[in-house]
Structures are given as C-alpha cells and as structure tokens.
Chain A
C-alpha cells in the first residue's frame, strides 16, 4: 500500500515538472501567468486532445472569477495534473482517424476533393477558421489532383509526429 502511494507521488512529481515546463514556454513575462489564448496549445502539447468545447470548459475552470485574460499557474497546475492522472482527452488512434475520413468519403474513392474537404471542415463539427483551413490545405492537398488521399496524409502526419 505504501509502495503504491510512493509510486503515485513520483508520478505526480513528474507530471508537475512537465506541466511547469510547458507552461513556462508561454510565460513571457516570467510571472507565472500565460495568455488564456495559449492554454489550448499548452494542454495539447502535453498529450491531450480535447474538443474546442471541452477546452472552453477547461478554461472556465482555470480562469479567475473575473477573467483577466491571463491564467495563473497555481490554478492551472492542479487541474492539469488531474487530467493527466485520469488520462482524459486521449489522442485519437490512427485507425479511428482513418474511419472518420472514410465516413466523409461516402463513395469510398480513397480520397476527398479539395472542395469537399473545405465544406466539411468549415461547415461541420467545430468549424475551422479560414487560417486553419488554408494551413491544412497547403499540406494535405495534392496540387495535381486537387484532392487529398487521406490514407497517405495520415501516414505522413503520423510519421512527422514521431
């Protein structure tokens, strides 16, 4: 029993270090606060994959009662530690991602046209901003066919991640 507790303490200590490091990258003024708009990046870089809606809720949890536009580390740390301990917002496995694309590709061609991709990404789900859309297109679309072979795309992105 004591061992179990020790191990958890060590794990928590490790998490604390990781969270602190990620937080400090965005703590430009070195005063233990970050701009609220960077919280999403921080959380995601720590291995989590929340939806925009979930992110919104998280921010509400770590914000001050009267929002200042800044998030303090003292408030962020416990919330983030909990998320890591509970393994919440797990990243999406490759095969699930592939199936998602296949759902959109109702004709089962193996690809989506540029227009189709734009339509889905900007009109469905939690729509992309124009910037996000353009950025995705620049890497995903094969200019010759003007389409995205999603299987290749996923493979490329996954390799890049690792």
Chain B
C-alpha cells in the first residue's frame, strides 16, 4: 500500500508538472500571438495617419499654387482670364450681400407632403430634442428650416466674443467633446450616455463637426439648435474643418449638394459666413483653455480676443492687408505702363502677397529650422529676401508650367488679370486680416503637440506648428491657466494626455479611419476641474468582433489605401528600383525594396514589417520588381484602354483633382463642360508635370462624356476612374451617393474596395 500511494503521488506529481508545463507553453504561444497583433495594429495606425496628413499637405500646396497663380499669372487670352476668374469667383463672396441672402429662406415653401421636423423661432428645448430624434430616424430637415436656423445662428454668433468665457458656477458639470467629423452616431451616443444639454449640463464642442462622415449637416443642425436654446451653457469652437475651402476636399460640400439639390449653394454660402463667426476658443473658470488645434510660441490670447475673427474666412488662403494704398496705387500704374510697352515681366519686383500657407513652398527646408519669431521659415531672413527665395523656387516651377501649358505672356490688348482682382481687393482692403492676426488663428486651429521642447513648423499638416512642453508651460504661466484641452488628432483610445498632463487631446469620432480603428471619448470637468474621461465605440459591429477580427478589418482597409498609393507612384518606384539594380538583373533585395519605397513615398512607415502584406512572391530574399509593379497595376486598373501612366497620375492626385473640379464647378451644379474640362486639365497637367497632348485630352474628355451632351458629370468622371472616395459605410452601397448615379460601377465592383 505504501508503495502504491507513493506511485500514485508520483504520477499525480508528474501529471501536475506536465499540466503546468503545457499551460505555460500555451500561454507563451498566445502572448506572442497577441504581441504580433498589437504590432500590426500600430502599423495600420501609422498607415492611416501618414496618408491622412500627406493629404492635408497636398491641399495646402494646391491652394498655394492657385494663390500664386492668381497673384502673378497673366493670361494671354480673354478666355483664359475668364476661366481663371471663374475659378476664384466662389472665393469672392462679398460680406455685405450675405445678410440679404440669408433672409431669403422665408420665400421657400415647405410642401404639405414634408414629414420631417418643422422649426419655429425662437427655438424651444423641445425643438432641439425633436431634431435629435428626427435625425436618429434618418429624416432630413427641409432647406427652409436649415437656412432659417443658420440665419438665427449667425445672429447669435455675432454677439459672442472670440474667446468664450464660461463659469462652472452656473452648471454643475461641463462636458467637452472633440472632433465629430460628420459621425452622427457618435453624437447621439454621447447625448444618450451623458445626457442631453440642459441648464445643469454644459457642453463644449471643440471643432471639426463636419467633413469625412456622412451626416455633417445633421450634426451642425443639432449643435446650432442647442446653442440657440441654451446660449449660456452650450458652446462651440471653430475647428480647421469649419472652412469652406477644406470642405471642398473633405466631403462636406459634396454632402450638402447631394442632400439639398435645389438650395445647396445657398446653404453653403450661408455656412461660409457662419463658420467664420464661430468663436475661436473657450475658457473655463479662467483656468482651462479649450481650443481645436493647439498653441504656438507666439500665441497671444489678448490679441486673439481683439481681432475681428470673421475676417478670417478660410485658413487655407489668405489675402492679407497690404502695406499702404499708395504703394498699391503705384504698383498698378507700373503694371499698366509696362503692359502698354510689351511683354509683362513674369517676375515682378514686389510680390503683392506671399503665398498663403504658414510654410513657404520650400517646406522640406523649413522642417529643420525652429520657429522663434513670427516669420515662419527662418528668423534671420528679412521679408524681401524671404519673398525672393519663395518666388524664385515657385517661379521656376511655374515657368515650366507656363511653357508646357502653352500660355504665353505676350503683348497684351486686354488689361492684366490682376487689376480686376486688385480693384476688388482695394475696396475690401480693410476687411482683410493682417499677417499676424491670420497666423495667430492658424496656429490655434492647426497645431499639434510634440514631445520635444521648442516650436517648429508643422510640415506634416502644412499649417500651424508643433509645440513642445516648454511652449505649453510658458502659455499656462503667462495666463495663469491649469491645462489645455484640444482635439484635432485621432487617438486610438479617444484621448491622450501629454506635456505632463497639461495638454489633453480629446477626439470624439470613434472608428474614424475604419470600423474598429479607435474609440471615441469625451471629458467631464467637475467642480475642481479635474478631468474625467468617458470612452466609447459607437458601432454595434465592433462589439461582436474579436480583437483579431477588428484589427484584420482595419488592417485590410489600410493596406488597400497603401497599395493604391504605391500604384500611383509606379513610375517613380520603377526608376528608384532600377537604381538598386546596377547589374540590370531585374532583382533587388527586400531591404532595398523597403528603402526605395520610402524614398519615393516619404510616409515614414515600417516597410520591412509591412512587406509580407505587400509583397507576395519573393524567392530567397530577392524581388522581381517589374512583375511586382505589374501585379499592383492589375489590381488597380479598371479599363485597359486608358494609358496606365495617366491613370497612375490621376490616382496620385485624385483628391486634388476632385477639389479642383469642385472649384471649377463654381455653381456646384455637378457638371462641367468639355471645354472647362480641357482647360482644367491643361492647367493641372502642367502643374503636375504630365506630358500629354491636346488630342489625348480631347479623346479623354470625349470618352468620359457618356451621354455625349457636352457635359461631364463630376461623379461619373471620378467613378469611371475608380476615384470615388470611400464615403459610404462599409457594405452599405445603397447609402453611397454615387451608387444612385452609376449602380454598376459603384462601390461593389471587384478589385476596387
């Protein structure tokens, strides 16, 4: 018996040991699995962020280009001048006629058949609540009420100071929300979870209500309604997306025109006004500063308090005030004189206005210098030297463009284009902000915090700056503040503290990049102003997915976007690969592949880690790059009859293209004529360095005009090239606005997304 027991014990012990070891093995294996998932998640995040910010840079460059063009380009023919004038017409809404336009809503009839919410003014809390409910049920507010609400909103906003001062003694708690970007589900969730606004429940919404998501209009209606109903408790800050120029690119303009086919233009024009009257910041108890982007080393709250904020219509283009009227008068005389003499010099002695972005066009250089004064590039250069540097680099580029576009500067019969806009601007001279004022606003709307000390130009976004913990500390001390709440950046957890918990980023659009990509969050400030964060993810689908599935979905989406980008740069990639293939074998190492890709795309991504996902076939560490590029193209190409290099260039610039088209289509009709298309393309291709004959352009135009009526529907054009931005929720093609126009080539096509 004794030996039996000890044998039993022995076995038991052995079994226990084996179980222990088995469990340990499984745990070890599982932890590695999770770690690899986490790494994939991080890489995916980097992909989305880098593509997003690269897009923002593009837009700034684009606007710089147009600004410069408008300031310096002298068209050779009547047609060209008209064309260019038209491009910028939408930019020149004079402020005075706005008020008349606003009250036009009264003439709009609401049919009896309309079953949506009806508003009457002054608004009552019930109206606002009813709006939320109506939108939740997917109803649409009639244009008349939209315009009425916007009109009332503007009246209210005009009375507000630039920096809203709020006290917690009026309400028990304040909730601050970040970017919503048209995601109505998130707003409804916040109200559901946190409670509707009330005299006891204050809210601050920190900008970026619109763009990207599909319900920007509804969000604005709800926010404005509550602001009118609870003016002391409900506050809005302007974000960088509350800007009609930005909206052209990022989807809000499109959304409005799709939802309001008859009155969309008017709504957009009114909104332009409303946006520039939004307050710039909110200050709670003189202790907590809430603004959309961030601060810079020159942020001056006293100055910001005093400026006329409505003068800054868009942070993208800035016509700043000139030195003096006398100087301008002299300049104009000089121009007219020289035009009578002969060719007008392309390069004029004094630039009328410098390109608008805080970064001059030599952006890569600016990356290295740090900002210590209000001149963005380098503190030691004076204005003249600076403008000369800028002009020469831009001039070289434009000189080439001019020649390619065949637009010659020859003896003029007509007045220079400039004088038309000059006359206009003289009248509106005092309506423009100074350079200093404009920069102050750009800084608070566009800046991002960084870990290192100092303050340098924000090259990634193309606007504002990166500010370090010392800049934050300086500001807090100067104005005796406790901390800063800002938004502007998407964070995986919906929020993030930095700078020693002195800066809180709060981002309220969950699943921003893709279903499952990130949580949203809002922050509540109690009596002691200690922040209390609440997180959420407003999508039922995410809750049922495992972490692995969530990451896979987001990853797939990111990789798709990345492959498109790679394809768009095929030619550049090929030449870069060839540099690594000195012996011309057609093979390069995977390591060289990674280096080459980074040097072309400049995205700063971990390419070696992403490589397995992007490169399918490689025999012992070598890659046949030509066939890899061909495979990429196969995935992306939709029509064989289109030259692949043309398609490639279109892909690379598709957001720019769409933006340009929307600018051309100044009446937002959704149509441009074949002629306008050709002119646009000429301009565009010369800037983008494409070699294309006029015949080719004509062929292209004709092939796109499907119904042969001399007009191109913008949507159809973009559809034809699979350039439609993914604006519909995944898998729900019926909600996609484009699907209604061209069902077959819509979101569900193979090989697209």
Question: How far is A106 from B11 in the complex, measured between Cα atoms in Å?
Answer: 13
Which of A1-9, A58-66, A75-83, A124-132 participates in binding chain B? Answer: A124-132
Partner of B28, one of A29, A45, A49: A49
Q: How far is the CA of A41 from the CA of B22 in the complex (A)?
A: 22
Q: A121-B26, A125-B27 are in contact. Are A25 and B451 (CB under 8 A)?
A: no
Interchain nearest-CB distance for A135 vs B (Å): 6
Distance in Å from the Cβ of B43 to the closest Cβ of chain A? 7
Q: Which A residues are CB-close (under 8 A) to B19?
A: 103-104, 120, 124
Tell me, yes or no, whether A85 is within 8 Å of chain B by CB.
Answer: no
Interface residue B42 (Cβ < 8 Å from any Cβ of A): yes
Residues of A within 8 A of B15 (CB): 106
Q: Which of B23, B35, B591, B606 contacts A24 (CB 8 A)?
A: B606
Q: Which residues of A contact B18 (CB under 8 A)?
A: 103
User: In the complex, are the beta carbons of B547 and A138 less than 8 A apart?
Assistant: yes
Q: Which of A22, A28, A41, A100 is the one whose CB lies under 8 Å from B26? A: A100
- The CA-CA distance from A129 to B36 in the complex, in Å, is 18
| Chain B: CB-nearest residue to A26 | B42
Is B364 among interface residues, defined by CB-CB distance under 8 A? Answer: no
Shortest A117–chain B CB gap in Å is 9
Q: Given contacts A25-B609, A100-B25, A125-B24, is CB(A45)–CB(B36) below 8 Å?
A: yes
Closest to B15 in A: A106
Q: Does B91 contact A (CB under 8 A)?
A: no
- Roughly how many angstroms separate A96 CA and B24 CA in the complex, as a whole number? 12
Q: Please report the C-alpha to C-alpha distance between residue A138 and residue B591 in the assembled complex, in whole angstroms.
A: 37
A98 to chain B, nearest CB (A): 10
A30 in contact with B451 given A14-B591, A124-B24 (CB within 8 Å): yes
Q: Which residue of A lies closest to B35 (CB)?
A: A44
CB distance from B370 to the nearest CB of A (A): 15
Which residues between 1 and 41 of chain B lie within 8 Å of chain A, taking CB atoms?
A: 15, 18-36, 38-39
Contacts of B27 on A, CB cut-off 8 Å? 52, 121, 125-128
Q: Which of B451, B548, B552, B606 contacts A28 (CB 8 A)?
A: B451
A24 neighbours in B (Cβ, 8 Å): 606
Whether A91 contacts B32 in the complex (CB less than 8 A), given A31-B451, A103-B22, comes out as yes
> Is the beta-carbon distance between A126 and B26 smaller than 8 angstroms?
no
B42, A160: Cβ atoms under 8 Å? no
Q: A45-B35, A125-B21 are in contact. Are A136 and B609 (CB under 8 A)?
A: no
| B608 in the interface (beta carbon within 8 A) | yes
CA distance A41 to B41 in the complex (A): 12
Task: Determine whether the beta carbon of A124 is less than 8 Å from that of B35.
Answer: no
Q: Kindly provide the distance from the CB of B395 to the nearest chain A CB, expressed in whole angstroms.
A: 35
Contact present for B33 and A104 (CB under 8 Å) = no
Docked-complex contact B31 and A21, CB < 8 angstroms: no
In the docked arrangement, what's the CA distance between A24 and B610, Å?
14
Q: How many residues of A contact B (CB 8 A)?
A: 48
Rounded to whole angstroms, the CA-CA distance of A42 and B21 in the bound complex is 25
With A and B bound together, what is the CA distance between A55 and B672 in angstroms?
63
Closest chain-A Cβ to B649's Cβ sits at a distance in Å of 30
Interface residue ranges of A126-157 to B (CB < 8 Å): 126-128, 132, 135-136, 138-139, 157
With both beta carbons as reference points, the residue of chain A lying nearest to B24 in the complex is identified as A125
Q: Which residues of A contact B46 (CB under 8 A)?
A: 25
Taken residue by residue from 84 to 105, chain A's Cβ proximity to chain B (1 for < 8 Å, 0 otherwise) reads as: 0000000110001101110110
Closest CB of chain B to A95's CB: distance in Å? 12
Q: A25 touching B42 by the CB < 8 A rule?
A: yes
Across-interface contacts of B594 in A (CB, < 8 A): 17
Complex Cα distance, B15 from A106, in Å, reads 10
* A22→B25 contact, CB < 8 A: no
Also in contact, A41 and B609, with CB within 8 A (given A30-B451, A103-B18): no
Residues of A within 8 A of B749 (CB): none
How many A-B pairs fall under 8 Å by CB? 121
Chain A residues near B552 (CB-CB < 8 A) = 160
- Asked if residues B451 and A135 are in contact (CB atoms below 8 Å), the reply is no
A77 CB to closest chain B CB (Å) equals: 15
Query: Which A residues are in CB contact (< 8 Å) with B547?
Result: 135, 138-139
Q: Mark interface residues in A37-77 (1 if CB within 8 Å of B CB, else 0).
A: 00011111100111110000000000000000000000000
Q: Is A161 an interface residue (CB 8 A)?
A: yes
Residue tally, chain B, CB below 8 Å to A: 37
CA A126 to CA B32, docked complex, whole Å: 13
Are B608 and A132 in contact, with the CB atoms below 8 A? no
Instruction: Find out whether the CB atom of B36 lies under 8 angstroms from the CB atom of A21.
Output: no
User: Which of A17, A44, A120 lies in contact with B31, CB distance below 8 A?
Assistant: A44
Are the C-beta atoms of B20 and A125 separated by less than 8 Å?
yes
- Which residue of A is nearest B26, CB measured? A100
A136 touches B606 (CB 8 A): no
Q: How close is B550's CB to chain A, nearest CB, in angstroms?
A: 11
Identity of the chain B residue whose Cβ is nearest the Cβ of A105 in the assembled complex? B22
Q: Out of B22, B36, B451, name the residue touching A104 (CB < 8 Å).
A: B22
A100 to B24, CA, bound (A): 9
B643 within 8 A of partner (CB): no
Q: Which of B28, B29, B30, B39 is the most central at the interface, judged by chain A CB atoms within 10 Å of its CB?
A: B28
Assess the A125–B608 pair: CB atoms within 8 A: no
In the complex, the answer to whether A125 meets B35 with C-beta atoms within 8 Å is: no
The answer to whether B36 touches A97, judged by C-beta atoms less than 8 angstroms apart, is no
The interface residues of chain A lying within 8 Å CB-to-CB of B351 are none
Pick the contact of A17: B25, B30, B43, B608 (CB < 8 A).
Answer: B608
Is B29 touching A97 in the complex (CB atoms < 8 A)? Answer: yes
Q: With an 8 A cutoff between CB atoms, is B546 at the interface?
A: yes
Q: Using Cβ atoms and an 8 Å threshold, which residues of chain B touch A31?
A: 451-452
Contacts of A30 in B (CB 8 A): 451-452
CB distance from A37 to the nearest CB of B (A): 11
- Residue of B at shortest CB range from A38? B38
Q: Mark B541-556, 1 if CB is under 8 A from A, else 0.
A: 0000011100010000
Q: How far is the CA of A129 from the CA of B19 in the complex (A)?
A: 19
> A17-B608, A52-B31, A135-B547 are known contacts. Are A29 and B25 too (CB-CB below 8 A)?
no
- Give the residue among A24, A30, A99, A124 with the most B Cβ atoms within 10 A: A124
On whether the beta carbons of B23 and A104 are closer than 8 Å, the reply is yes
Q: How near does chain A come to B585, taking the closest CB pair, in angstroms? A: 18
Chain B positions 602-616 with a Cβ under 8 Å from a chain A Cβ: 606-609
Please name the residue on chain B nearest to A21 by beta carbon: B606
- Find chain A residues with CB under 8 A from B33 CB: 157, 161
* B22, B35, B608: the one within 8 Å of A18 (CB): B608
Residues in B whose Cβ lies below 8 Å from that of A96? 25
Give Cα A103–Cα B30 distance, bound, in whole angstroms: 17
* Contact (Cβ within 8 A) B32 A49: yes
Kindly identify which residue among B28, B452, B591, B608 contacts A92, using a CB–CB cutoff of 8 Å: B28
User: Which residues from chain B contact A138 at a C-beta distance below 8 Å?
Assistant: 546-547
**Minimal beta-carbon separation of A84 from chain B (angstroms):** 13
Residue of A nearest to B25 (CB): A100
Q: Is B32 touching A17 in the complex (CB atoms < 8 A)?
A: no
A51 with B28, Cβ < 8 A, contacts A22-B609, A25-B606 known: yes
Enumerate B25-83 residues with CB–CB distance to A below 8 Å: 25-36, 38-39, 42-43, 46
Find out whether the CB atom of B24 lies under 8 angstroms from the CB atom of A41: no
Who on chain B is nearest to A24 by CB?
A: B606
- Which residue from B20, B29, B43, B606 sits with its C-beta under 8 Å from A49? B29
Within 8 A of A (CB), among B297-335: none
CB atoms of A97 and B42 under 8 A apart? no
Chain A residue nearest in CB terms to B594? A17
Distance (whole angstroms) from the CB of A133 to the closest CB of chain B: 10
Residue of B with least CB distance to A28 = B451
Other-chain contact of B23, A18, A48, A120, A136 (Cβ < 8 Å)? A120
27 A–B contacts from the bound complex (CB under 8 Å): A21-B606, A22-B606, A22-B609, A25-B42, A25-B46, A41-B38, A42-B39, A44-B32, A45-B36, A45-B38, A45-B39, A52-B27, A91-B29, A97-B26, A100-B25, A101-B22, A103-B19, A104-B19, A104-B26, A106-B15, A120-B22, A120-B23, A121-B23, A124-B19, A125-B21, A132-B31, A139-B546
Q: A31-B451, A52-B31, A128-B30 are in contact. List 4 more A-B contacts (CB 8 A).
A: A40-B31, A43-B35, A49-B32, A52-B28
Ranked nearest first, the 7 interchain pairs of A and B with the lowest CB-CB distance are A125-B24, A44-B35, A125-B23, A29-B451, A124-B23, A45-B39, A103-B22
